[in-house]
Structure 1
């Protein structure tokens, strides 16, 4: 049985991935909460942390946007090495060189509000059902419909839930 690890308010989980999504940097907070040692995760796909409760739709949205150099915020349920889990509010951006070429991706994750997690869990259940029945395209359509129903952009919705 997995158990939840709850972040403390002072935690800043940070990591960098290369253009293929492989971890090239992880700070001490990342290692502490994920239960991995640095040599176990370097150059491994960041998706090693993906919890089964996380819709692939959210990651598709995230990757599509950061590859266009757009900042993305997202609530993410991560899986630890020992199959425990923890929720974060993630801020993901592309790091670019002086010419504007993407060098890597940088993510900072903090403790999410409990109320926000409760709301997002319900949204993610719907997205998972859509994905299971009709694929990621249907998941993205549903995500867009949910966001539109709030009358905000995706990032505005995520940040309003975290307020």
Structure 2
């Protein structure tokens, strides 16, 4: 599937607080499953997304730094909580509080990843927006995308270290 570049609309794609968005990916982050809520909120069909990178729903205002941290965590066989701004197929956005975990086989080998996402409280989103804007600004300071992301990542890790907390603790403390 070739994805046409969609511009953010500034409109929110609604979903209810009692709904859970669920997806599963393989080890490379390609979608292997998306529940009905995922499909409805994102505006994609299962045919559109299965086999595609999970980043198909990445919003351009979402810092790459957070995804670097997410991947490091789950590849280390740990779980992570993170606020994520996603983009639907029509450019609408939706915030989630994601809980991402590795999926293990009977021998303890990681075989994929599983994510449950809930609608976050608006006050939490209002607290994370300026932090993510700051990370995006850090990322943009260096023209090279990877180096910019690493600079923002180091900035984030330094801030968390100065506060004496890890990322999960920080996210859950908001």
Q: Common fold, TM-score beyond 0.5? A: yes
**TM-score, structure 2 length as denominator?**
0.89
Separation (CA, whole Å) in 1 of partners of 2:56 and 2:163? 32
| Unmatched runs of 5 consecutive residues or more in structure 2 | 1-8, 143-147
Among 15, 27, 35, the alignment partner of 1:27 is 35
Correspondence 1:142 to 2:155: yes
Between the aligned partners of 1:120 and 1:6, the Cα distance in structure 2 is 19
Aligned with 1:11 (options 7, 19, 42): 19
Matching residue of 2:100: 92
* TM-score relative to the length of structure 1: 0.94
Q: Structure 2 vs 1, CA of residues 148 and 116 (structure 1 numbering), >3 Å: closer, same or farther?
A: farther
| 1:92-149 CA-partner distances (Å, limit 9, x unpaired) | 0000112221100000000111111111110111111111113111111121133234
Runs of 4+ more than 6 Å apart: none
Aligned Cα root-mean-square deviation (Å):
1.1
2:6 aligns with none
Preserved CA contact (<8 Å) 2:13 2:88 = no
Counterpart pick for 1:111 among 101, 119, 142: 119
Number of aligned residues: 161
